Amino acid sequence: MPPKDPEVEKLKKELQDAIAKVQEDQKSKADTDMSGACGDLSEAPKVRAMCKRMCKGHINKVNSVHFSGDSRHLVSGSLDGKLIIWDIFTGNKTQVIPLRSAWVMSVAFSPSGNLVASGGMDNQCTVHDINDRDSTGVAKIAREMLGYEGFLSSMRFLDDDNLITGSGDMKVIHWDVKTGKKVHEYFGHSGDVATMSLSSDHSVFATGSVDRTIKVWDLRDPKTCKQTFWGHTSDVNSVYMHPSNMAIASGSEDKTARLWDLRSDQQVCEYKPPTANSGFTCCGMSKSGRYIICGSDDNTIHMWDSLKGSHAGSLQGHENRITSLAVAESGIAFATSSWDMSVRVWAL
Amino acid sequence: MDRRNAHPRLLMSSQQQLRVLVDQLQREANIERMNTSEAINQLKRYITEHEAEDYLLVGFSSQKANPFREKSSCTVL
């Protein structure tokens, strides 16, 4: 056996010390837990949301769904190779965009509603301008972003000119949509990036990965990752920035959802359904942050009171795995996509 | 592997990778942390202040405000 390299051994020790320091400091700041701090609150009402719209039109699994900033239009991407834009008030399709590759895993709507982005196993991100249509009325491609070594898993627009993507090659990239050039690349994840969520003021964003961590990045200081949250014992499939921008909700393959507080830099709550036998594929929060909502492998949507930690109910309806969940910015509804080929809109 | 697109980690020796990891971890270890009591209180305060606007919690103030309501038919007088 080769002798141990003293340099490497020294580094490994430094690594252990740094990890121990983080854990020590976090512990020293944990002067209360969620149940202690929220003992005075009464429980949030049990969930009363119902399926208000069933958006039928895709003819294969729907992998991703996202709202426009107008809280009225939704884009969905399916393995049938189409993006569909829906008006959730009427439940009607307003546009259908055929994709060059059917392998779409993730979609995003720009806040303005002018652009949609999509990508997946084609290892590229394509942006369509929905107002710029060809002679047959189909939205034209505005930009294609290449250079990935893995599938596109997640993407979010800051605005019509700026898009951030997460991919299976561990990359997180901020693109200038107009020029198609990389603005910055964020390094840190050691596994596929699976999900991302922007803060409402666009100052920070969070990513979740197969490496089991959630990382927080500062858009104004992109050189290094700001914080890393450990705790999930399997892939982090979904993250969602708390509306206050002070915390992050996550859903994981480890069958738990958790709440991570940014300022105390630690997990503050864990959520499990009455029978925890399925991983969570997607998550979101209601407008105030009181409810945390997760879509599951077992076709069910679970909701919890984020402060009391109690299960607030489950929503049935989808007939196959739920793949993605999007919350309207106004908080008026949330939408889910599924392998059952439908998109459902849920509201009170 | 296309070196132009490769993740920088793949182009480093394992010792260099370890150095990068240790430096980053030390940076993250040194951030300012707030007490959880203070942090959770602020979360509580935000949530309670915004509950009235949370449609999934309190519903719609009137049926007129509900875009998913059953539209009643109009009669021509």
Which residues in chain B have Cβ-Cβ distances shorter than 8 Å to A291?
54, 56-57
Instruction: Give the residue-averaged pLDDT of B5-21.
Output: 80
Rounded to two decimals, what is the model's pTM? Answer: 0.95
Residue of A nearest to B26 (CA): A18
CB atoms within 10 A of CB A15: 16
Instruction: Give the residue-averaged pLDDT of A85-93.
Output: 97
pLDDT tens per residue, range B35-59: 999 999 999 999 999 999 999 999 9
Instruction: Give the residue-averaged pLDDT of A53-82.
Output: 98
Q: Is B57 in contact with A49 (Cβ distance < 8 A)?
A: no
pLDDT at B6: 67
Split at pLDDT 50, 70, 90, the class of A42 is: very high
- The answer to whether A46 contacts chain B (CB < 8 Å) is no
Whether the predicted pLDDT of A146 surpasses 70: yes
Contact A215, A205 (CB under 8 A): no
Q: Is A265 in contact with B31 (Cβ distance < 8 A)?
A: yes
Split at pLDDT 50, 70, 90, the class of B75 is: low
pLDDT at B54: 97
Give first-to-last CA distance, chain A, whole Å.
Answer: 66
pLDDT at A215: 98
Contact A173, B30 (CB under 8 A): no
Which H/E stretch holds residue B50? helix B36-50
Instruction: Give the residue-averaged pLDDT of A51-74.
Output: 98
Whether the predicted pLDDT of B14 surpasses 90: no
pLDDT at B76: 65
Residue whose tokens read 């209360």 = A32
Whether the predicted pLDDT of B11 surpasses 90: no
To the nearest whole Å, the CA of B75 is away from the closest chain A CA by 21
Q: Is A14 in contact with B54 (Cβ distance < 8 A)?
A: no
Which residues in chain B have Cβ-Cβ distances shorter than 8 Å to A25?
29, 33
pLDDT at A1: 64
Q: How far apart are CA A324 and CA A42, in angstroms?
A: 30
pLDDT tens per residue, range A153-164: 999 999 999 999
Residue of A nearest to B30 (CA): A22
To the nearest whole Å, the CA of A80 is away from the closest chain B CA by 28
Instruction: State which amino acid sits at residue A105.
Output: M
pLDDT at B4: 65
In whole numbers, what is the pLDDT of chain B averaged over residues? 87
Give counts: helices (H), strands (E), chain B.
3, 0
- The answer to whether B72 contacts chain A (CB < 8 Å) is no
Of A38, A147, A265, the CB nearest to B33: A265
Q: Is A289 in contact with B47 (Cβ distance < 8 A)?
A: yes
Q: Which of A334, A281, A96 is nearest to B56 (CA)?
A: A334
Q: Which of A263, A268, A334 to mutate to test the interface with B (most CBs of B within 10 A)?
A: A263
What percentage of chain A carries pLDDT values higher than 70? Answer: 99
User: How high is the ipTM of this complex?
Assistant: 0.94
- The answer to whether B12 contacts chain A (CB < 8 Å) is no
Instruction: Spell out a b/e string for A215-226, using b for 16 or more CB atoms within 10 Å of the CB, else e.
Output: bbbbbeeeeebb
pLDDT at B2: 61
Q: Which of B31, B41, B43 to mutate to test the interface with A (most CBs of A within 10 A)?
A: B43
| Collapsed DSSP state (helix, strand, coil) of residue A68 | coil
Q: Which of B44, B47, B51 to mutate to test the interface with A (most CBs of A within 10 A)?
A: B47
Q: How far apart are CA A244 and CA A31, in angstroms?
A: 22
Whether the predicted pLDDT of B8 surpasses 80: no
pLDDT at B12: 79
To the nearest whole Å, the CA of B77 is away from the closest chain A CA by 26
pLDDT at A8: 87
Instruction: Count interface pairs A-B at CB distance under 8 A.
Output: 181
In whole numbers, what is the pLDDT of chain A averaged over residues? 96
Q: Which of A227, A213, A208 is nearest to A26 (CA)?
A: A227
- The answer to whether A266 contacts chain B (CB < 8 Å) is yes
Instruction: Give the residue-averaged pLDDT of A289-318.
Output: 97
Split at pLDDT 50, 70, 90, the class of B9 is: low
- The answer to whether A13 contacts chain B (CB < 8 Å) is no
Instruction: Give the residue-averaged pLDDT of A251-256.
Output: 98
- The answer to whether B62 contacts chain A (CB < 8 Å) is no
Q: How far apart are CA A105 and CA A153, in angstroms?
A: 6
Q: Is A307 in contact with B43 (Cβ distance < 8 A)?
A: yes
pLDDT at A4: 77
Of A52, A228, A264, the CB nearest to B39: A264
Of B5, B28, B51, the CB nearest to A288: B51
